[in-house]
Chains A and B, each alone.
Chain A
Amino acid sequence: MSAQSAIPAPSQTNGPGMRAQVAAFSARHRSTSVLVGGSLVAVLLAFVVLVPPFSSFSPQNVWVDGFTNAGVYILLALGLNIVVGMSGLLDLGYAAFFAIGAYVYAFAASPFTGADLPFWPMLFVGAGMAAMFGIMLGAPTLRLRGDYLAIVTLGFGEIVPITILNLSDYTEGPNGIGGISPPSIGDVPFPTTGNPWPYYVTMVGLIIISMILIYRLQESRLGRSWMAIREDELAASANGINTVTTKLLAFALGASTAGLAGVFLAAKLQTVTPNLFRFDVSFTVLAMVVLGGMGNIWGVAIGAFIVYEIQNVVLKQLNLFFDNVQVPILSDINFIEYQYLLFGVALVAMMLLRPEGLFPSQRRKRELHTEEDAEFGELGDPMGAAPE
């Protein structure tokens, strides 16, 4: 036994690489590193767009505004990652909580209801309401697993926008609620056009805080319970984990992040319509989580950013490019129409080539990569037990 444990030692004495050192440091000072890393990325992004290839597409203001919208999706992906990546509960109706957050703020600060509550506390209220709906959805579905849970959540995801659509008396139906107040600091409201910076900074702050909190959850006893439930629910409950409350908490916390995103979106667009929360949002966010690397918080955030930028910038720029440069077939294609085809192809390719996602968590990598299994088969098992 001691001989076996001695084997990895020599590789360690070669000196841990730069990357390993950074990883070790960030594991020790998680919150600081997220704060510093997040702010650095935010600043870099805002200024990288001043450099030629990007600056030719659109001015900095437009870029930064786009990044803010991408931030909404990053928040959504971070929240869905709690439910899908960390707890292993497939949720296909995630956009419902997004909608609930948005409508909570729309009711709280628009001429439609006449109320004008301030934005900052409403962030918490929106998150709380979404969490409550998360529990409401979670409570009856907790006995379901896998496919069944996916179907029920899919249904819930449809129920919420359709209810909003049809309750015209209370929600203005398909027209949506307009004239929502923007956030304000003191008496100064955020500028709604021209200057995207206040929203951008708010978004970056929300993302960093969410990431820090989610990291803390992941590294706590609760995160460990989620992981255990994902691995083997029966074994988890046989070790004293109350699977009902633990799964409910996953739903509630995931939903509350979506609620945050919803409140922010309503305040940024100053208008909400049921169309913003259709199934394609749930699907896109799920694709972001899968592509980014389920379970890895940074990976999911980066995955969401990449997917959003491809969807909203790259495809648009391709269209513009081929409008100007005449290439026989490509110029006739409207690339934006093909975005879901691209998603499909990307997801299939992903599952074949790199099932753990672009930036996998260590754990997912171990789960899905066959390297270790090969090693296992090579060394053989004394009892002839199969790897799985």
Chain B
Amino acid sequence: MGSESPAAPAASAETILQARQVTKRFGGLVAVRDINLDIPQGGIVSIIGPNGAGKTTFFNVVAGIIDPTAGTVAFKGTTLISRPRRVWLESVLWVVPALVVAIVALALGAGGAGDNGLLVTTILVAVALVVTLVVATIRPAWYTTFLSRLGVLRSARPNDVVSAGMGRTFQNIRLFQNMTALENILVGMHLQLRSNMVDHFAASRRQQREEAAAAERARELLRLVGLRGRDDELAKNLPYGDQRRLELARALGNRPALLLLDEPTAGMNPNETAQMTALIGRLRADLGLSVLLIEHDMRVVMGISDHILVMDHGELISEGTPEEVRRDPKVIEAYLGTGAS
């Protein structure tokens, strides 16, 4: 479960997330250094550490928001996150189809045809350029495969990470403030919905059925996190604790296999914290979710974690079961200062 042997072949059948030597440098500051992490299927792994330890940076690397300086993150056996390589080559490649079109057109004698020939060539080149750019922005799967064959590697974007099967919440709640609770969850279910542009324009029955089913499931999710009947309330009008729970429900919308929770109890009172902790435990039991939890409050994680990593100044200082971590003098030192033990 731990990362004692990072080079060992992964038991990917049961390891859902595998981070290897993840490093992130911001200029001279190493925010995260050589972090290895394995999350087993159905496990709850926590990262704790004092403020500024690099927990959230690591978390953002896993969620695809920032690219790592080194290292990789694999999810369900496929490498999602890695250091971008030869990205400059991609923008050079965008010009290639247009150039080919220009050369072919001129070779076919468009240059000899005077002004009209040049005009036609220009239009063809422009079309080629536009098509390439559109493909490049939409990034279909074959495009990425083609690029990786040429050695161009790009880290997954946040939405790719979500479609791979991770859901996340934010440390400072980022709900869609002016949308209702139900709409928030419907946005969270975006990838579950299949209606396309034709359905949108035709307001097809298929889309209506799908939307109705989605609303039904969104209500179920609201019930699951204890917000029954709050469908039509604006997210910003919900009490703080409910906003956190709504964000959790939204993250569940895309049926993730792994839930990334960034300080889910920050700013909560002890009572709400206990409820949230119980909820996370219940999610694992009921939905079979794996959870990566970030906290700086030791009490929260001790109860529910299978495995804990302790970070300080960007480095892993200790890891193990809650019991082991609790007794580790280095952890106590990081939290309370030298000599406190």
Q: Given the interface contacts A220-B200, A381-B240, A383-B269, does A238 sit within 8 Å of B138 by beta carbon?
A: no
Q: Given the interface contacts A231-B176, A234-B174, does A240 sit within 8 Å of B239 by beta carbon?
A: no
Q: B118 CB to closest chain A CB, in angstroms?
A: 11
Q: Which residue of B lies closest to A221 (CB)?
A: B193
Q: B99 CB to closest chain A CB, in angstroms?
A: 18
B 230-261 to A, binary, CB cutoff 8 A, 1 in contact else 0: 10001011011101000000110110000000
A 195-235 to B, binary, CB cutoff 8 A, 1 in contact else 0: 00000000000000000010011011111110110011011
Q: A143 CB to closest chain B CB, in angstroms?
A: 11
Q: Which residue of B lies closest to A8 (CB)?
A: B232
A47 at the interface (CB under 8 A from B): no
Establish whether residues B177 and A244, one from each chain, have CB atoms under 8 Å apart when the complex forms: no
Establish whether residues A240 and B191, one from each chain, have CB atoms under 8 Å apart when the complex forms: yes
Q: A294 CB to closest chain B CB, in angstroms?
A: 13
Contact pick for A231, options B119, B159, B177, B201, CB 8 Å:
B177
Contact pick for B133, options A136, A245, A388, CB 8 Å:
A136
Chain A residues contacting B100 (CB-CB under 8 Å) are none
Establish whether residues A169 and B203, one from each chain, have CB atoms under 8 Å apart when the complex forms: no
Among B63, B178, B187, the one with the most A-chain Cβ atoms within 10 Å of its Cβ is: B187
A145 at the interface (CB under 8 A from B): no
B229 at the interface (CB under 8 A from A): yes
Q: Given the interface contacts A225-B190, A241-B190, does A363 sit within 8 Å of B178 by beta carbon?
A: yes
Establish whether residues A232 and B168, one from each chain, have CB atoms under 8 Å apart when the complex forms: no
Q: A200 CB to closest chain B CB, in angstroms?
A: 25
Establish whether residues B190 and A220, one from each chain, have CB atoms under 8 Å apart when the complex forms: no
Complex CA gap A385/B266 in Å reads 12
Establish whether residues A132 and B130, one from each chain, have CB atoms under 8 Å apart when the complex forms: yes
Contacts across chains A and B counted by CB atoms under 8 Å: 142
Chain A residues contacting B269 (CB-CB under 8 Å) are 383
Complex CA gap A50/B170 in Å reads 61
B276 at the interface (CB under 8 A from A): no
Complex CA gap A239/B163 in Å reads 9
Establish whether residues A135 and B130, one from each chain, have CB atoms under 8 Å apart when the complex forms: yes
Establish whether residues B267 and A232, one from each chain, have CB atoms under 8 Å apart when the complex forms: no
Q: Which residue of B lies closest to A365 (CB)?
A: B178
Chain B residues contacting A385 (CB-CB under 8 Å) are 240, 243, 267
Interface positions of B from 146 to 168, Cβ below 8 Å from A: 157-159, 162-163, 168
Complex CA gap A228/B235 in Å reads 12
Q: Given the interface contacts A135-B130, A239-B190, A239-B254, does A383 sit within 8 Å of B240 by beta carbon?
A: yes
Contact pick for B190, options A5, A217, A221, A372, CB 8 Å:
A221
Q: Which residue of B lies closest to A219 (CB)?
A: B203
Chain A residues contacting B17 (CB-CB under 8 Å) are none
Among A142, A223, A225, A383, the one with the most B-chain Cβ atoms within 10 Å of its Cβ is: A383
Establish whether residues B200 and A139, one from each chain, have CB atoms under 8 Å apart when the complex forms: no
A387 at the interface (CB under 8 A from B): yes
Interface positions of A from 341 to 388, Cβ below 8 Å from B: 363, 366-367, 372, 376, 381-383, 385, 387-388
Q: Given the interface contacts A5-B229, A139-B133, A228-B176, does A31 sit within 8 Å of B203 by beta carbon?
A: yes
Establish whether residues B159 and A243, one from each chain, have CB atoms under 8 Å apart when the complex forms: yes
Complex CA gap A249/B195 in Å reads 15
Chain B residues contacting A234 (CB-CB under 8 Å) are 65, 158, 174
Chain A residues contacting B200 (CB-CB under 8 Å) are 216-217, 220-223
Q: Given the interface contacts A2-B229, A216-B203, A234-B158, does A221 sit within 8 Å of B179 by beta carbon?
A: no
B residues near A (Cβ < 8 Å) are 63, 65, 115, 119, 130, 133-134, 136-139, 157-159, 162-163, 168, 170, 174-179, 183, 186-188, 190-191, 193, 195, 197, 199-203, 207, 211, 228-230, 234, 236-237, 239-241, 243, 250-251, 253-254, 267-269
Q: A2-B229, A240-B190 are in contact. List 11 more A-B contacts (CB 8 A).
A: A5-B230, A132-B130, A139-B137, A220-B195, A220-B207, A221-B211, A228-B187, A232-B175, A234-B174, A238-B170, A367-B178
Pairs of residues from A and B, 9 with the lowest C-beta to C-beta distance, nearest first: A383-B240, A240-B162, A220-B200, A235-B174, A231-B176, A240-B191, A237-B158, A228-B187, A385-B240
